């Protein structure tokens, strides 16, 4: 499988910089956006041909991450599984956004806490574990709770469906 992730952004250089910085430049192919109706199908076809859907697309002015059966509209702050909305708290949304922005990357509890809460990690408690458990519970009915994998002794990651 081609490990390139595709990033389609607006032609505005400032937006390009912010989006690329937020998602991480490594492993992303950045291309200019077509109209919203053209961009998403092109990105999805390219990502699917690479063996799995891993795309970030500017769709109607919104940044949308799509992996497997999941889609996350960062601007509208919505998360969907198979086009069905899944209600997430702000912290749950931030965790899903972090994982979707960096598929197959293992994050420690400390990293998840500091990146999603924006505060220093002081005490090893169950805060991160509890939030991830709540996300998995919300996904269980769709059968996609297994996308979030625990890597024992290290942390959690989004396992890209193959």
Nearest C-alpha neighbor of 52 from the set 70, 68, 64:
68
| Spatial distance between the Cα atoms of 55 and 13, rounded to a whole number of angstroms | 20
State the pLDDT at residue 26.
46
The CA angle 80-56-77, to the nearest 5 degrees, is: 40
State the pLDDT at residue 62.
76
Start-to-end CA span in the chain (Å): 9
3-class secondary-structure state, position 35: coil
State the pLDDT at residue 25.
46
List the pLDDT tens digit at each of the 162 positions of the chain: 344 445 544 444 454 555 555 555 444 444 444 444 444 444 444 444 443 444 455 546 678 999 999 999 998 999 999 999 999 999 999 999 999 999 999 999 999 999 999 999 988 789 999 999 999 999 999 999 999 999 999 999 999 777
């Amino acid at each position: 499988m081609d490990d390139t992730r595709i990033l389609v952004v607006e032609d505005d250089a400032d937006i390009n910089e912010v989006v690329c910085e937020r998602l991480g430049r490594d492993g992303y192919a950045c291309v200019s956006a077509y109209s919203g109706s053209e961009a998403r199908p092109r990105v999805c076809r390219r990502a699917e041909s690479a063996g799995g859907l891993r795309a970030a697309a500017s769709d109607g002015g919104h940044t949308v991450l799509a992996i497997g059966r999941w889609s996350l509209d960062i601007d509208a702050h919505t998360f969907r599984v198979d086009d069905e909305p899944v209600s997430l708290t702000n912290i749950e949304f931030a965790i899903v956004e972090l994982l979707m922005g960096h598929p197959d990357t293992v994050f420690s509890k400390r990293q998840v806490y500091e990146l999603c809460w924006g505060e220093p990690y002081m005490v090893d408690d169950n805060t991160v574990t509890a939030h991830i458990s709540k996300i998995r519970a919300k996904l269980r009915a769709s059968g996609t709770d297994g996308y979030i994998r625990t890597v024992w002794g290290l942390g959690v990651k989004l396992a890209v469906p193959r």
